[in-house]
Amino acid sequence: MDPLLYVLDLIVFIGIFGIVSLSLNLEFGFAGLANFGKVAFFLIGAYTYALLSQAGIPFYLCLIASALISAIFGLVISLPALRLRADYLAIAILAFGEILRLIVKSEDWLAGGDWGVTVARAISITGASHRVDALINIGLVYFCLLIFFVIIQLLANSPYGRAMRAIREDELAAEVMGKDRTKFKAQALMLGSAMAGVAGGLYAQYLHCVLPGMFMPMITFTVWIMVLLGGPGNNWGVLLGATLVEVFERGTNIAKDYIDLPVDPSNLQYILFGALIIFVLLYRPQGILKESKIRSKAQRLAFNGRRSAKNKGS
């Protein structure tokens, strides 16, 4: 296989999973919601995109629809789920993801069941090589990633993000300090689901198809590893986490062609991931990068003003 294409393909995957980890960072890193059903919204986005693009709707509308429909599902599931305690919430959403996958798998009329649906490329140029095709995808994926990154970064450094972090720290105290915790959590879940939905749409069109087997719970756990490894509460951190995990995953797949082992290294991956997550949680629970501080413009000014005053005084 063309080695350059391999790298381009890796870059596309980092972008798509970068979006999903940013969305989990919003939900878990900032709002403290243990969403163990990330793959559900990824699936909804992918199938929405696939079915609409099959109906001949232009790709950008399909992506917007993926975002909207995932967001609606996020909101709907948040209504009953947010009444649950954090650990039950995690289990409830995890089950939701599996149920969705089994529905699309067994209901053939919906989206081809096990055979899935073939998806057309978002932007296809006739006669373009695979490399050009990958480059177009990189442009599309990173355009979306940039938009979401800016949105979350702005939110994280606003009073809204501060209220979210306060709810994560102590729900009850935040509620008594005037923050409507149910509203904040529902919005976080909605926004996070919309982002995961767009990532799903991009994934579907990049892989040319959607199949139930593409949405195993392992996707959720991989995204969790990205976030925990990179640093929850730090947007740069989770992107770094996404990059490291993708490179690692690809790396072990390549390594198997060169290293002779009695077992298949791609099966070892899961064991290594497990070991990695235990290692991170034990020795660096805050992840590679620490949580970013809240820096609104006014705060930065006050902070810098104080520091310069202190320097003058000493």
Partner 1 sequence: MEDALLKIKGVSKHFGGVYAVNGVSLEVNPGGICGLVGPNGSGKSTLFGTILGLHKPDQGEIYFQNEFINHLPPHTIYERGLVNAFQIPRLFYSLSVMDNMLVAARGQEGDRLFNSLFLRGRWQKQEKGLIEEALDTLEIIELEPWAFTPAAELSGGQRKLLEIGRALMARPTLLLLDEPAAGINPVLGKKIFQKLKALSAAGMAIFVVEHRLEILFEFASWVYVMDKGRIAIAGEPQDIIDNPDFYAIYLGEE
Binding residues vs partner 1 (CB under 8 A): 151, 154-155, 158-163, 165-166, 169-170, 172-181, 187, 191, 291, 293-294, 296-299, 301-303, 306
Structural contact between residues 200 and 44, judged by C-beta atoms closer than 8 angstroms: yes
Q: How far is the CB of 37 from partner 1 (least distance, A)?
A: 22
Q: How far is the CB of 42 from partner 1 (least distance, A)?
A: 23
Tell me the β-bridge partners of 118: 209
Q: How many CB atoms are closer than 10 A to CB 284?
A: 13
For residue 37, the SS3 value is: coil
In the complex with partner 1, the residue whose CB is nearer, 159 or 274, is 159
Q: How far is the CB of 181 from partner 1 (least distance, A)?
A: 8
Q: How far is the CB of 177 from partner 1 (least distance, A)?
A: 5
In the complex with partner 1, the residue whose CB is nearer, 122 or 195, is 195
Structural contact between residues 142 and 15, judged by C-beta atoms closer than 8 angstroms: yes
In the complex with partner 1, the residue whose CB is nearer, 55 or 176, is 176
Structural contact between residues 235 and 287, judged by C-beta atoms closer than 8 angstroms: no
Q: Is 89 exposed, middle or buried (CB count within 10 Å of its CB: 0-12, 13-18, 19+)?
A: buried
In the complex with partner 1, the residue whose CB is nearer, 131 or 290, is 290
Q: How far is the CB of 141 from partner 1 (least distance, A)?
A: 22
In the complex with partner 1, the residue whose CB is nearer, 36 or 184, is 184
- Residue 70 to residue 191: CA distance in whole angstroms: 9
Q: How far are the Cα atoms of 90, 92, 168, 228 from residue 34, in angstroms, in the given order?
A: 5, 11, 11, 12
